Structure 1
Amino acid sequence: MDCRSDDSIKNYVNDNMEEAIILLETLGKIPAPSNHEEKRAEFCKEWFVNQGAEKVYIDDALNVICEIGCEEHEDIVVFMAHTDVVFPDKQELQMKREGNILYAPGIGDDTANLINLMMGTKYFLKNKVATKKGILIVANSGEEGMGNLKGCKEIFKNYGSRIKEFYSFDCYLGQCITEPVGSCRYKVTVKAQGGHSYADFGNENAIFTMSSLIQELYKIQVPKEAKTTYNVGCIEGGTTINSIAQECSILYEYRSSSDKCLKTMENNFYKIINDFKEKGKMIEIEVLGVRPGMGQIDEEAFERWTNNNVSIIKKYFNGDVKLGTASTDANIPLSMGVMANTIGTIDGDDAHKREEWVDLNSIPMGLSIVLELMLQYAGRV
């Protein structure tokens, strides 16, 4: 039977449904906070080896990389799903199952999508599928929060211009991300003279200065070319109620799908900071992370490529496929002009909550989508 046929995909999905669920329940308990994905990385590497992978390794960024046909072909297609979750837990993640609903932190974002990628890879390995291009399977690190897409950045650092097309499996069924939301994140620290709240009354208070700074940041008029946002998400400082604060820090970010808008926000941010410095305020800036927006891309070719992917999704998913914007691993290739989609392969909800859930009955649909997307590159040239 042709390994690319509908019957071959259907039979494989049906025959391996239980294995996929067991794999999800096993991997979903392994903690993997961003920048500390070691346990999941080791598990995934061993799993790929057990499926017959001949070249699989963990790189410096804690990506698990499985190469298929990359030595025979110069051009590479990347298929990626991330191992990290938003929660800091270092101990086993709590999980419960009620019928076909599986609950666990990070179970849909992104563990279930990763399972579909892993099971799709098993199909290639067991059937020794020949490929038209090199296939790079990546269980990547650092997609969430302060991971700042470090895993995906490392892939492009190491494979560079060889990468011609890119798929990230993330989000939920019916979602296809075609436009990246870029962001810049900072830690801003104000330092001041401080002192005793009574004896040194009148000395500069870092908290007061920071509150003035925040007010100025919130007066910024966002550009209108694309949706652009900003946020102060955390503030800390001071020591006691009877001390004039010597130090205060905030975490601040701005986001946009437009690189031009991001640049405008950057200019506004630094103008405010410099204005405060010119008034004698002591301010320190630490860049915590940068996620790029859309770069220069062949729009017609990208539209055709995306439409083909959407047609594959619709073959198995009966609902509407929504093209949208989001901050995902696809930010990196899209910023470099490489065609990339982030595609959801699981039904669920409550991402970034400890009560996150997935519907196990949606695994066959998602796995079928993954397999057919991958099998586009099967065969010899």
Structure 2
Amino acid sequence: MLASLDPLVEQIVATTLELTAVPAPTGDEGDRAAVVGRRLADLGLPVEHDEVGNVVSRLPLAGGRVPPVDAPALVVSAHLDTVFGRDVALEPRRDGERLLGPGIGDDTVALAALLALAGELAASPPPTPVVLAATVGEEGLGDLRGAKHLLRSVPTRAFVAVEGHLLDDLVTGGIGALRLCATYRGSGGHSWGDRGAASAAHALLVAGAAALKAVPAGRHVNVGVIEAGTTVNAIAAEARLLVDLRDEDDGRLRRTATLVRRALEAAPRGIHATVEQVGHRPAGQTPRDHPLLRAARAARADVGLPRAREDSGSTECNAAFPLGIPTVCVGITRGADMHRTSEWVAIPPIADGIAALRALVRRASAEDSGV
């Protein structure tokens, strides 16, 4: 029952509810970043708000030593942003052994766990450099903006991304995602009086169908957003669609995108088509025998967790692959309904999640870890 929970878990629960109540839409994470920054400062840790909005803390070393800024660090992150806009009522709450609220598991409980880890490392500093970060722009067209900037600006020897729902998983590979935005523009006009004029909406429908047909069997394409026209009795002067392509192989992903782009660029006389890439999460894989993955597996065993399912996903790890940085994504608890207002996470498993995260950081930051 809740009354018997470890005090650290109670702390994570309280922090999760506090942070979930602070809106953090992708691209507008400043309010939540400010709270996280204050909490880190209250622990006596150095805090930096970088140029893209990430909250970054370079931890002191054992003995009070300050690590050089160019010393490669173990970087541990959780993302600030959620898929919910400021118009969504957040109203997080505790119901028995569950926490409920939009974004509570993706990724707010992970942020709370990161702060709990910060407290432990402030009290018992690591022997080698560790950087903790709360990142912006993980979701959707945020395109991993925070993680990409973080890993390009902080010398990194290994990267651990923390997610709320993935306690039973180790994400060791990245599913690549490439996003295209196609826009069609024409003169528009009255649906009868200007009949015969080229319609941006019609051009979009034809090009979109051609793009779907151009994708070879077995490859993934999703037309996620379509916007066109202003009213039923007007010829559309502008139309737009957003396409999401995914693949485990980044080269194949790019080749598919080339086929789709060519189809989307085709337009009838009187219509101007533009297609731009608006996002790219590179695919990749951390070698199965890498010391970081061995440390992640051993950390689970240390705290009595069974062997995790190891698979590929779309996480902040994707930002590490093109840089050749070994990476793994770990989870804090279990739950359901990600990206829905009914999202929830279970409270009791948080004890295992924070214990496994602590054990992983201790192992990976040890001087003889090989990570």
Fold shared per TM-score above 0.5? yes
Could you tell me whether the CA contact under 8 Å between 2:73 and 2:156 is conserved in 1?
yes
Q: Structure 1's 319 and 27: CA in aligned 2 closer, same or farther, altered over 3 A?
A: same
**Which letter does structure 1 place at the counterpart of 2:262?**
K
In the comparison of the two structures, how many residue pairs are matched? 357
CA contact (8 A) 1:52 1:126 kept: no
Please say if 1:184 is aligned against 2:171.
no
The letter of the residue matching 1:83 is L
Displacement of 1:373 after TM fit? Answer: 0.9
Q: CA deviation at 1:300?
A: 5.9
- Counterpart for residue 252 of structure 1: 243
Whole-angstrom distance in 2 between the partners of 1:39 and 1:316: 35
Deviations 1:110-152 (A, max 9, x none): 111121121111101023x242x21010011111112110111
Does residue 1:194 correspond to 2:188, yes or no?
Answer: yes
Separation in 1, partners of 2:226, 2:153: 37
Among 286, 293, 311, the alignment partner of 2:283 is 293
1:51 to 43, 54, 57: 43
1:254, CA displacement in angstroms? Answer: 0.7
CA RMSD of aligned residues (A): 2.2
Q: Give the Cα separation in 2 of the matches to 1:41 and 1:111.
A: 12
Say which is worse superposed, 213-222 or 364-373, in terms of deviation. Answer: 213-222
Partner of 1:166: 159
Q: Which runs of 5+ in 2 are unaligned?
A: none
Quick check: 1:149–1:291 contact (8 Å CA) kept in 2?
Answer: yes
Cα deviation for residue 205 of structure 1 reads 1.7
Hey, what's the Cα distance between the residues in 2 that align with 1:261 and 1:223? 13
Partner of 2:27: 35
Specify the SS of the correspondent of 2:116.
Answer: helix
Q: Distance in 1 between matches of 2:27 and 2:314?
A: 18
On the 8 A contact 2:180/2:244 being kept in 1, the answer is: yes
Distance 2:106 2:39 in 1: 20
Structure 2 Cα separation of the partners of residues 196 and 362 of structure 1: 60
Asked if structure 1 preserves the Cα contact closer than 8 Å seen for 2:203 and 2:267, the reply is: no
Q: Which amino acid aligns with 2:235?
A: I
**Measured at CA, do residues 380 and 234 of structure 1 come closer, stay the same or move farther in structure 2, by a change above 3 Å?**
closer
Letter in 1 for 2:146: G
| SS of equivalent residue, structure 1 residue 376 | helix
Instruction: After TM superposition, list the pairs within 5 Å mapping 1:30-109 onto structure 2.
Output: 30-53=22-45, 55-69=46-60, 71-72=66-67, 74-89=71-86, 93-109=90-106
Q: Is the Cα contact below 8 Å between 1:32 and 1:90 reproduced in 2?
A: no
Name the counterpart of 1:243: 234
5 Å-filtered alignment, 1:5-44, equals: 14-44=6-36
Q: CA deviation at 1:307?
A: 3.2
Q: State whether residues 223 and 264 of structure 1, in contact with CA within 8 Å, keep that contact through their aligned partners in structure 2.
A: no
Match of 1:137 in 2: 132
- 8 A Cα contact 1:314 1:321, kept in partner: no
> How many percent of aligned residue pairs carry the same amino acid?
25
**Structure 1 equivalent of residue 314 of structure 2:** 327
Give me the TM-score of the superposition, normalised by structure 2: 0.89
Aligned match of 1:316 in 303, 319, 338? 303
For 2:278 and 2:200, how far apart are their aligned partners in 1?
21
Describe the shift of the 1:353–1:317 C-alpha distance in structure 2 as closer, same or farther (beyond 3 A): farther
Could you list the per-position Cα deviations for residues 43-102 of structure 1 after superposition, in whole angstroms to 9, with x for gaps in the alignment? 11111111121x211111111111114843512110111111110126762122211211
Q: Show the counterpart of 1:4.
A: none
In the alignment, the residues of structure 2 paired with residue 328 and residue 242 of structure 1 have an alpha-carbon distance, to the nearest angstrom, of 44
Q: 1:149 aligns with which of 144, 148, 154?
A: 144
TM-score w.r.t. length of structure 1: 0.87
Q: Distance in 1 between matches of 2:214 and 2:42?
A: 54
